[in-house]
């Protein structure tokens, strides 16, 4: 397992490419991995919502993560989830199998810990039982995944994760800088590293002490996020401009994600298709969203040139 100090920087939430028959396209996945690594990312988050994990079989999930680990070959740490089951016993079994792949940290999904109608006491109880059941040689993380519903972490849960000594990684999707600052204070001095998923609050969160970015827009321009995370202190004027662009560009997530990201990957030669198991690409193309995506990416390339990034 990697040391917790490595849970900083940019951690793309990995896409899963599919062929025309909605089967995993392994050749395209290999190209995607190398593309992320060339951008200078710090690590990869495999088998997450962007990977369409709720639409993968358990066997596919395990095969996917093993493939990523094999191709990465230790060049960066890899974390993974695949935490999709409902009953606690199922979840423990599912997560235990994922831990055996050799991932650096195993990422739990907050909405799997309790039904939407249940309180935070249920979340904490489930979290404690799962944590106790998992091999303590693998690091643990937690992700506020918005599907099938969004369960934000309570202060009590964040504090318990920090005090347990088991947790290395929180993928924060609260999108509220005051909440992020409070979570950073609750986890100060612990192994927990907070990765913000929100482009609009990213710079402010880095200034407050957050450790990096783990969001969907790293599937378009990871190198800009890498630059911002590395240089927000030594180049503050450029950082503000880059941050303003990234915050605005993040609105592209509403253009039928993950189709928009897959379409972009097709345009640069990494993917063969924009096929998804979560939605039909037809609406994306009929609504001419592809033009908007291309404009967003092109503006980012212009920005890199103008700022000499």
Residues 134, 169: Cα–Cα separation, whole Å: 16
User: Which among 7, 36, 167, 171 is annotated as catalytic?
Assistant: 171
Using CA atoms, how far apart are residues 88 and 295, in angstroms rounded to an integer?
45
The torsion defined by the Cα of 45, 75, 101 and 113, in degrees rounded to 10, comes to -20
Beta strands 78-80 and 167-172 are unpaired
> Cα(186)–Cα(254) distance, rounded to whole angstroms?
32
To the query of whether residue 143 is one of the catalytic residues in this protein, the response is: yes
171 included as an active-site residue:
yes
Q: Which positions ≥6 away from 256 have C-beta within 8 Å?
A: 279, 281, 283, 284, 287, 289
CA-CA distance, 199 to 216, in Å (whole number)?
A: 9
If DSSP codes are grouped into helix, strand and coil, which group holds residue 139?
strand
Q: Active-site residue among 7, 143, 213, 284?
A: 143
Q: Which residues are catalytic?
A: 143, 171
């Amino acid at each position: 397992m990697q040391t917790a100090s490595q849970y900083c920087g940019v951690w793309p939430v990995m896409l899963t490419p599919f062929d025309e028959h909605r089967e995993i396209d392994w050749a395209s996945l290999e190209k995607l991995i190398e593309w992320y690594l060339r951008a200078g990312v710090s690590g990869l988050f495999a088998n997450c919502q962007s990977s369409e994990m709720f639409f993968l079989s358990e066997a596919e999930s395990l095969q996917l993560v093993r493939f990523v680990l094999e191709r990465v070959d230790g060049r960066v740490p890899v974390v993974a989830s695949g935490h999709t089951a409902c009953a606690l016993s199922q979840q423990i079994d599912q997560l235990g199998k994922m831990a055996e792949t050799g991932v650096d940290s195993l990422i739990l999904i907050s909405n799997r810990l309790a039904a939407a109608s249940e309180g935070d006491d249920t979340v904490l109880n489930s979290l404690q039982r799962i944590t106790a059941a998992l091999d303590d040689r693998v690091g643990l993380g937690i992700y506020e995944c918005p599907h099938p519903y969004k369960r934000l972490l309570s202060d009590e849960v964040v504090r318990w994760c920090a005090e347990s000594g088991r947790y290395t990684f929180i993928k924060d999707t609260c999108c509220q800088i005051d909440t992020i600052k409070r979570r950073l204070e609750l986890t100060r001095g612990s192994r927990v590293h907070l990765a913000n998923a929100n482009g609009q609050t990213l710079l402010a969160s880095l200034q407050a002490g957050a450790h990096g970015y783990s969001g969907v827009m790293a599937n378009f321009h990871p190198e800009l996020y890498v630059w911002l995370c590395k240089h927000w202190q030594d180049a503050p004027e450029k950082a503000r401009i880059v941050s303003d662009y990234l915050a605005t560009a993040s609105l592209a997530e509403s253009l039928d994600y993950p189709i928009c990201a897959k379409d972009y990957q097709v345009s640069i030669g990494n993917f063969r298709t924009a096929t998804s198991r979560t939605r039909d690409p037809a609406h994306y193309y009929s609504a001419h969203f592809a033009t908007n995506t291309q404009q967003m990416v092109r503006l980012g390339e212009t920005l890199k040139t103008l700022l000499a990034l």
